[in-house]
Structure 1
């Protein structure tokens, strides 16, 4: 059903960011195109006994593939490529080289892979339950909304989004935490993800659209 342009636009308008974008006069350049492979995958050529291959190191999606929602893929690929370029002269066919590269990747790249996994799980749970479970989930959700109003918090978020500083360090800054806490204190009724369609509304938009706005879609597909 979402391949129908009218249904897709109606669904996009159900989310405030999508509605705001469409109100600017955004026009499609093509039909609705599906995206696939939105999974998170870490692939290592090393097991508990050490490297399983030498003379070969994975880079880009061969090493780690992440859901593109955070836009980390190209950055992680270039990071790995630069590491290989800088060290390729150091006996690249040896077990030592393969082990050192793997250790570097786990230390440098895997935290960002783990961040994507955690972010996806949290977003999925909040949308499924329509609420944050407990104060910590509420604080995490508030951080992102607070960043839209507070430049100090946005700066921390930008450092994470651009892979400059890991979230556990950037968001633990006492100044950032204090600003988010003040933002929450001023909004005692704040509920994470209180915007956007619930399950019933989403199914109506996608599977039972208004014929006036989507004449070509009249049944589930």
Structure 2
């Protein structure tokens, strides 16, 4: 029904399903209809059918990036424009870049290999924090904690990507293989986070 497409029913369903996934990864087996009550503000009537306008994934991102008690906001610049100005785009783009780095490395004849990386402090910290973020998001029934973390991780990966592949006449080294493994791990975490939010992680953008 139209009311369900643009009002409380849609957002409540999106939030509850995401909370259920977050709880599930921590061992919960509760069905969504039996979850502890999570007060959910509806999509504002003025925003109309947000799924039709923005697509299911982008609309869900806007609904989940805002705390459940608050009314979500929808912006064409943030959700429709394919540029790094939009957080949703950056998260998916960073995942796609991680996959592209692996493909490009294969063309250069090397693959990811675990090792020490000494020039990626922010990325390493965010990856180490990821399990704690998931735990907090599940405990507080707060998917927005996960969306914020994914944006930070994506930004760190997009900054780090330029140090992954050999430049110019450089030959692939152990350092390059280790950086590639780190970039691949970050992409895997981004894909997993998007899946917990109910969204796809494209291989290419």
Superposition TM-score, scaled by structure 1 size: 0.29
Question: TM-score under structure 2 normalisation?
Answer: 0.31
Structure with higher helix content:
2
